[in-house]
């Protein structure tokens, strides 16, 4: 009996290793660091749960039949944190923890596969990891969409800011030209008044030359 149980555990462990290798080979956006971190956290949390809910004398009797199972809560939290694929890894580790408690209690491995009240936890862990991982993925997609929208808004803002600066420069240039035009009109009116008051040719000549000098200096400026 013990030999059969150990063979089954070896089989499950080999399948988990193959699954992890497939995750890495598919080049998911999960780095090797995240995979190792997820496995380490899953093992630590599973160990803590077994100590608190199985090895303590006042909790071990109902561990295999708990409705709101602490291992299921762990799968929920880890799947929300790491996503679907690493959530599956956590679900397998949680199943191994449950199997350990099941076999340590002296139960038969064949009975585990035949009785729904036991193997339902394995299915429940997988379903939870898939569902919570999907929520994790949707959350990441929403964050990426919001980031893209933010970038688009920033680009539009910079474009509008540039256009606003150009409009201000054009407005400033037009205002200067209007001022120069007004000054030119005023100067020309003064020139006409001086010509009317001039009585000799020399005065007219001086007024005209003075006006031409001012005009040429303005053009050069």
**pLDDT by residue, tens only, the chain of 221 residues:** 545 555 655 665 566 566 556 655 554 555 788 888 889 999 999 999 998 888 887 767 788 888 788 999 999 999 888 888 888 889 999 999 999 988 888 888 887 778 787 778 888 888 888 888 888 888 888 888 888 888 888 888 888 888 778 777 777 776 766 656 655 565 666 666 666 666 666 666 666 667 666 655 554 44
Contacts of 112 (CB under 8 A, 6+ apart): 99, 102, 118, 119
Q: For residue 48, what pLDDT is reported?
A: 92
pLDDT for the residue 27? 46
Provide the terminal-to-terminal Cα distance of the chain, rounded to the nearest Å: 106
Alpha-carbon distance values, 120 to 28, 73, 89, 153, 167 (Å): 29, 15, 17, 49, 70
Q: How many whole angstroms separate alpha carbon 206 and alpha carbon 65?
A: 116
| d(C-alpha 97, C-alpha 120), whole Å | 14
Q: pLDDT digit string (tens) for 98-146?
A: 999 888 888 888 877 787 877 788 888 888 888 888 888 888 888 888 8
Coil, strand or helix: which one is 83?
coil
Cβ atoms of residues 152 and 146 within 8 Å: no
Task: Give this prediction's pTM.
Answer: 0.56
């Amino acid at each position: 009996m013990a030999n059969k149980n150990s063979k089954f555990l070896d089989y499950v462990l080999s399948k988990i290793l193959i699954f992890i290798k497939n995750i890495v080979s598919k080049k998911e956006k999960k780095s090797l660091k995240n995979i190792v971190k997820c496995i380490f956290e899953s093992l630590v949390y599973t160990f803590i749960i077994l100590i608190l809910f199985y090895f303590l004398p006042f909790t071990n009797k109902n561990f295999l039949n708990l409705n709101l199972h602490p291992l299921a809560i762990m799968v929920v939290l880890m799947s929300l944190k790491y996503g679907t694929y690493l959530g599956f890894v956590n679900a397998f580790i949680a199943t191994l923890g449950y199997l350990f408690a099941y076999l340590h209690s002296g139960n038969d491995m064949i009975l585990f596969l035949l009785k729904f009240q036991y193997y339902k936890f394995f299915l429940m862990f997988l379903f939870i990891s898939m569902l919570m991982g999907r929520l994790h993925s949707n959350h990441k997609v929403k964050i990426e969409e919001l980031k893209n929208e933010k970038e688009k808004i920033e680009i539009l803002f910079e474009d509008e800011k540039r256009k606003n600066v150009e409009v201000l420069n054009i407005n400033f240039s037009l205002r200067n030209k209007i001022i120069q035009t007004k000054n030119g009109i005023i100067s020309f009116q003064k020139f006409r008044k001086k010509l009317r008051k001039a009585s000799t040719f020399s005065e007219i000549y001086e007024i005209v030359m003075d006006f031409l000098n001012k005009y040429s200096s303005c053009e050069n400026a």
